[in-house]
A and B are shown apart, each in its own frame.
Chain A
Amino acid sequence: MTLPGPPANVRRTRVVIIGAGPAGVTAAATLARHGVTPIVIDEAAKPGGQIYRQPPDGAARPPREIYGFDAAKATRIHGLFKDLQSAAKIDYRSQTLVWNITRNEQRFRLDLLHNGVQATLDADKIILATGAVDRALPFPGWVLPGVFTLGAAQIALKSQGVAIGRRVALIGAGPLLPLLVNQYLAVGIKPVAALDVAPFIAKLRAFGGLAAQPATLLKGAYYTARAAALGCAITSNVRSIRALGDSRVTGLAYATADGKTHEIACDGIAASFGLRSESQLADLAGCRFEFDNASRQWQPLRDRVGRSSVSGVYIAGDGAAIGGADVAELAGEQAALALLDDGGTPTSVERRHTLDRALRRQSRFRRALESAYPFPAHLVANIPDGLIICRCEGITAGQLRDSIARRHPTDVNRLKAFSRLGMGRCQGRMCGHVGAELLAAHAGCGIVEAGRLRAQPPIKPIPLTSALATEVSS
């Protein structure tokens, strides 16, 4: 016999937060303070997200060694979460992947995977705090063993206490590059090259806006100056890069703005060019997106406080727009306050104004940072036909251009259907944006018209067998 559940107005509102990085943690703490017990779902084994990622048991090191200047912030976020857990103010589901979201009348249904077992969970309201991944761009040799993203080179250090080589070359277009150079120097590995694909002049021009966050600006300047003082000056305005090697990386060739080419021996390369929001779940929840010219990527639409275009779905942190950990903390709290406000729970007007002011300052800084590190269009302008664009299935630029020329796809989803670009395991995380750039260049349309790959469930690979054992909790 099935007993009818309590009527909707009596049943307690179930709030699910997806992601336990800085945005997810502050959102959870804010809800808990107002008497709401959220379910916090995170893929990792421990909270912190990527930025404050905690090493697995057995690989622990002192926070100062792992997080450097940010050790106090990391420790505070970890501590905040631990307190919520021990006071049973949250329902924490670690090592759990949300691989689909569907709308089910006024509620949402989440498909989960934990320990190989499939489950579904219904939610009334969702806060997406899904973070970001490195923006990868293809270059010759980028699929060789020994080539990683900058984020990967940092995770290797932070989470595993390993470096990506003894002679490493670091290449980037964003503030992660000077930070990582210093992190490698701190463990006794002096990078053999530190290359920035953005021009130095762009940083000078952006100086005024960057001064909106003096502490952050100072930290960046310190890292850059310290790298130079230790004999690892960052070379700006690098025009092209090529990883050398047969079965693994043995060197790097690059061209500088003066037209000269350089070749150095190295056994590890980390290269990525800013970050991209992990917005697949927002897409599946039905959120509308818009193209952001400054960061040259699609972002889920949201209002000033984090409401998406779908009622009941809120978005905070790098999963909404790249802003970094400090912004994520503020935005997580702000989205949680908006959620409470929408549900009729009184919140502090003063606090909301404080958050709004802080985030506006951060947003001026972010705009300046984006002009300091513009999208490196020159790296995608002349991609050779033989270069692999889709790492998963080995699809080359030539194959894509052929598909474009013969079948005239009108957007990147059509290009996917014709070429399989983005159909592999990574679901286009590493290649979708590059496919759009190629399509725009070849078809002569704008990057907005080229569009973005639609998210498809499961957003990450799940074992087929897991679908056989389903637990439902509603």
Chain B
Amino acid sequence: MTAQFKQNQQTHGAALLVRIKPRTSALVRFTIDGRPATAHIGDTILTALLLNQAHVRDFEFGGSQRAGFCLMGACQDCWVRLRSGPRVRACTALIEETMAICTEGRAV
């Protein structure tokens, strides 16, 4: 567990997901709303987010947060915006090095 991961957990609530065994693939560095975080090659954006915090995005019609639901690209409840512009579905898109993810309601 990296120091960054620990810090994110302390500030933004414990992770929602649990890795069942350590991942040996290469480390990926990315940011969540500007905060540095890490994941591994092969993680989806949703996995990467939910191993660092307990939500994927703010719900745009209210003060609550969402963390995905179906994980198979059907419910569309995990769309997030990348700082580079596009919106991506977090359960089907893979995390990439330097990706900057916005989970906040009024992103960018």
The chain A residues found within 8 Å of chain B, CB to CB, are 43-44, 50, 55-60, 116, 133-134, 136, 143-149, 151-152, 155-157, 159-166, 187-189, 247-248, 267-268, 278, 391-394, 424-426, 429-430, 460-461, 463
Known contacts A160-B43, A166-B18, A463-B86; A430 and B75 CB within 8 A of each other: yes
Q: In the complex, which of the residues A59, A162, A429 contacts B75, with contact meaning CB atoms closer than 8 Å?
A: A429
A contact residues around B68 at 8 Å (CB)? 148, 152
Rounded to whole angstroms, the CA-CA distance of A391 and B57 in the bound complex is 13
Known contacts A133-B70, A152-B72, A247-B65; A461 and B79 CB within 8 A of each other: yes
> How many residues does chain B have at the interface if contact means C-beta atoms less than 8 Å apart?
44
Q: Is the CB of B70 within 8 A of A116?
A: no
Residue of B nearest to A147 (CB): B69
A265 to chain B, nearest CB (A): 14
B contact residues around A430 at 8 Å (CB)? 69-70, 74-75
A-B contact pairs, 25 of them (CB 8 A): A43-B92, A44-B92, A55-B42, A56-B44, A58-B42, A59-B25, A59-B42, A116-B86, A145-B16, A145-B67, A149-B71, A151-B71, A152-B69, A155-B71, A160-B17, A161-B20, A161-B21, A161-B23, A163-B17, A164-B17, A247-B13, A248-B55, A426-B76, A430-B75, A461-B76
Interface residue ranges of B53-91 to A (CB < 8 Å): 54-56, 59, 61-62, 64-77, 79, 86-87, 89
Residue of B nearest to A95 (CB): B92
B contact residues around A148 at 8 Å (CB)? 68-71
Q: Is the CB of A424 within 8 A of B17?
A: no
8 tightest Cβ-Cβ pairs between the two chains A and B:
A58-B42, A59-B42, A145-B67, A58-B41, A425-B76, A58-B25, A152-B71, A394-B61
B95 to chain A, nearest CB (A): 10
A contact residues around B86 at 8 Å (CB)? 116, 463
Q: Is the CB of A149 within 8 A of B26?
A: no
Rounded to whole angstroms, the CA-CA distance of A439 and B21 in the bound complex is 46
Rounded to whole angstroms, the CA-CA distance of A165 and B51 in the bound complex is 11
Q: Is the CB of A165 within 8 A of B54?
A: no
A45 to chain B, nearest CB (A): 8
Residue of B nearest to A426 (CB): B76
Known contacts A56-B42, A143-B64, A155-B71; A163 and B77 CB within 8 A of each other: no
Q: Is the CB of A152 within 8 A of B18?
A: no
